[in-house]
Structure 1
């Protein structure tokens, strides 16, 4: 059973890592032009908005999160190496990105007909002042996925041989993505002395979308905190049971 769970964790993690890779690569295309990044976005939307893509992405996210909750609940101690703490912190930040993505693009599209393109999305981020948050949420998820994959690959000699190349890719892609995103922001600001108005469909339903985002984030944090507390209670009960059994012997 443990081997099956590890395979499920690896498989779902790889799906999310591919999603992040394409997301970062798409932003990096903005270094060349906003139009090229827009064409990349069309391809990404075609992949992830198809029925197989939707089931794969959100199914992998739900499975990976469920397995993470199981790990939090089952953990007996929290004396972890630094790399594990970094991976845990980065991994728990990834659903925050997915929640924002699901509400701002997918839910807004399904409920209100908002069709995202980079000019609309970047304008929305600029006018709301959350462009820095968008960049900050991508990097931790990427770090978590790369560390998790490396923990599986480091036992193979070929992986050790190409480790410098892998490290370079892990570091460079988020930097190129940030550079591309900043370039797109500069392009949009240069085209418009005054930023274009945000899509009226989003403005009309912004409070509803914000409520969805707030409720989903609160529920997510509640699940993590509740799972941690339940695990600690279970550990405390087990320790008391062991003490009683040792005293009775």
Structure 2
């Protein structure tokens, strides 16, 4: 197994670190090719249908294997000290585009901790199926913002949105396809939308440490629940 190397950031000081490993990036390039060849081909003029198709990428076997890879698990051990990683949330797709499917939707500045509420070593693993630069849609973070803990904000159906949306010293993340951004759940971040043509599709998954004593004392609570829509079969 090839270890992942640090490309940017410092998790302890800045609340994020970007990791890279060629075999991992090669897997993501294969996922992107499958998405473009199989999933995009199912798109229609119905944006609801298209968003449902995008969400299904999170259930793709290759994507699930990506987030369970030995390289990523090893990085959680080596760079964050997570002894027993467990996935405490589903894999989530983040499609950003100015077309009808994306509708330039994106969350403003927010923090993920209130939507997790799990171990003290919780982390978000975020990646993209394509390269992301400082132009076009992407992700904007505020390095070091995790040191203040939970900022004043309001819990909404979409997430914990901050009261302060005018924040200085933000950084537009630059990652190659398949590089992995590990973020503290307290790191302030937002979706960067753009009127430019094209789309961005990122994927994220949340990990916690089953060996966390604080989480143990809280009976391993999690904000995630299982819900089943019993009426979908009628559609």
TM-score by length of 2: 0.27
Structure of higher CA gyration radius: 1
**TM-score (normalised: structure 1):** 0.25
